[in-house]
Structure 1
Amino acid sequence: MKYSLLLTTLVFSLSWNTLSAEDVTHSFLACGQKTYIMDDQGKMSWTYPSATRDGYVLEDGTIILTLNKSKRYGGGAVVRISSDGKETLVWKGTQSEVNSAQPTSNGTFVITEAGISPRLLEVDAEGEVLVEFPLACQKKNHHMQTRMARKLPDGTYLAPHLLNFAVFHYDSDGKVLSTFDTTVPGDSEHEIHTWPFTAIRHGDGNTLVCCTHGNRVIDFDAAGKVVWTLTNEDLPGDWLQDPCGSQVLPNGNIVITSYAGGRVDPQAPKMFEVTPAKDVVWTYSDGQKVGIHHFQILTSNGQRLTQPPQK
């Protein structure tokens, strides 16, 4: 496969954490219409021949991918690819879509299925179901039910529900513990119902949420109050165009993927990194109109990031 790729590094003099006035480089796994690993020199080191929604590279080199529905897997699937290239099936979707699969430190996988009976599952390495409960989301539009569900260290789960305009926090029995409303406040005529896509628990109980419809990224504190917001007004251009995935780096910076970032301008960033002060320190463009659904930053300036990634 050949792709038209452009890797652009923006250099700023920053004082945030250990960042200095030097080029920032990342290698990363990209999941979307094309699935690949990009090295820190802008070259593809690995590709996969199917579209994906979510993915992880584990410390031993194993790659976990959530596959889009296809002729091969009509309800989507989760596969494991070992470092020698051998592929095994972890989970075959039973409904409309499989939308995420998070590997846990215990060797299990947290999976969401969309369909008539939307549900969250946690399965072991052989696919045996250990946890299962229904998701409290709308059932009419399967595709817009949920996306990046994640298990937290305390054994509870976060699941963004797009057309419910909220991130739901569940216990292991499926009880809703709390919700994070992503609606932009205003009167009835000016409220914006934004669709949460990725929710990341980080810091002292904060929850970072990418909202696709509405083009913003927001951070809730532990009490559920919005304490940080990123919009296109904070950026050099209208770079937030359907922001889907994100990752909080160890230094506190945030990398965001803008799925439709190239629809208006083909050279607009598909991914970019900002500091908490909203300074841009890295961008990646691929010349495509749409593409990257989610990702995992693997190395920064040649240093491998610690596991598990906050994504």
Structure 2
Amino acid sequence: MTKIHQKRLRKYSLVFSLFLTLNIFAATAITLPKGEQKSATGITHSFLVTGPKTCIVNEQSEITWQINRGSRDGYVLANGNVLITFSRDVTEYDKNQKVVWSYKLSKENKEISTAQRLPNGNTLLVENGAKPRLLEVDAQVKIILEVKLQPETNNAHMQSRMARKLPNGNYIVPHLLAFAVKEYNSQGEVVNVIKTDLEELGGRKRRNWPFTGILLENGNFLINLTNGNKTVEMTRDGKVVWKADNTTSGGRFADPCGGQQLDNGNRVIGSYGQRKADKARIFELDKDKKVVWEFFHPQIKGHEVHILTTNGKAESGKLR
């Protein structure tokens, strides 16, 4: 190869590399149509939603940010970046969708179920598979802490869902097929178990698989029971103190997955399995179980939802 050919090859390689870089960091075009929010009292929200479609919706129901990947969990961070959990990685994007941080699934496991950015800057995440584990990873993607989980099943997809770190330093982990929300300490010891196969909830035959374990300010937990089609508030010792299901909510529960308690105490639920056009994919209940807000969209499904604002006012987003 002549020097001229070598020079041209280097030039073309540089141009091709630049092309790839620009395409990796180019913002994804908004392709999703506008949705519809309904509320008899005029409630409007902006929110991040994960699932087959990953996007941010404004209070006018317009899609303002979109990633063309199916996702599981997500947060809009205080700096405006967006942390998304995919099945094989957890990735942080800036507002222009440039990747600023990413963790890749370990080779021994099959999928990642959840992630949470912690106040100290570390990221909590959970891997399911042959070695189910909860991790804390720092900004340099170094594993700072590892907690071995006890899901009671080898079915990786059904081992765990929306794990979160508690203020006391422990971790709350919903284990679906164990019918239990377990609290682990940093040494991997289970220090508390909230069972969801109670007879008053229909027992195991109702498949009350826990998806969330949201610690409320009163010390109770808000738990979405996915195949059981209900949301319950339970005390730390496992007593049911509030329950909403299809008998109280007009048939809106269909595989409820993620959720959030808003600053006013209302509860937003992602009805992930909802396929009926006249039923909302995401809806909001007040403490009296009255439906006060709904979101409809033909493509967006609520695997997890992060409500950002209500009628122009920022939500704290703490209880999710």
- 1:20-35 map, 5 Å: 22-35=41-54
- The aligned counterpart of 1:83 is 95
**Aligned equivalents of 1:192, 1:49: Cα separation in 2:** 34
User: Gapped runs of 5+ residues in structure 1?
Assistant: 12-21, 69-75
Partner of 1:59: 78
CA distance, structure 1, for counterparts of residue 62 and residue 34 of structure 2 = 9
With over 3 angstroms needed to count, the CA separation of the structure-2 counterparts of 1:77 and 1:188, relative to structure 1, is: closer
2:309 aligned with 1:299? yes
Aligned pairs, number: 289
2:123 and 2:137 in contact (8 A); partners too: yes
Cα deviations by residue, 1:73-102 (Å, 9 ceiling, x for unpaired): xxx100111234320343100110011010
Alignment of 1:185-200 (within 5 A): 185=199, 191-200=205-214
Cα distance in structure 2, aligned partners of 1:39 and 1:189: 40
Once the two structures are TM-superposed, the CA of residue 220 in structure 1 deviates from its matched residue by 0.7
Q: How does 1:93-242 map to 2 (within 5 A)?
A: 93-94=105-106, 95-185=109-199, 191-236=205-250, 238-242=251-255
- Residue 278 of structure 1 aligns with an amino acid whose one-letter code is K
Stretches (4+) displaced over 4 A = 186-191
Structure-1 separation of matches of 2:201 and 2:171: 32
Amino acid at match of 1:247: Q
Contact 1:53 1:67 (C-alpha < 8 Å) held by counterparts: yes
Q: Could you say which structure has the higher helix fraction?
A: 2
Q: Give, in angstroms, the shift of residue 186 of structure 1.
A: 6.1
Residue 26 of structure 1 contacts residue 40 of structure 1 at CA under 8 Å; is this kept in 2?
Answer: yes
What is the rounded CA distance, in whole Å, between the counterparts of 1:145 and 1:213 in structure 2?
15
2:37 is aligned to 8
Deviation at 1:57, TM superposition (A): 0.3
What residue identity is the alignment partner of 2:170?
A: T
Counterpart contact for 1:90–1:126, Cα < 8 Å: no
TM-score computed with the length of structure 1 as normaliser: 0.88
d(CA) in 1 for partners of 2:286 and 2:214?
Answer: 16
Note if contact 2:197-2:204 (Cα within 8 Å) is conserved in structure 1. no
Q: 1:182 to 1:190 in 2, by over 3 A?
A: closer
One-letter code of the match for 2:319?
Q
Gaps of 5+ in 2: 1-29
CA spacing shift, 1:220–1:305, aligned 2, 3 Å: same
Percent identical residues:
37
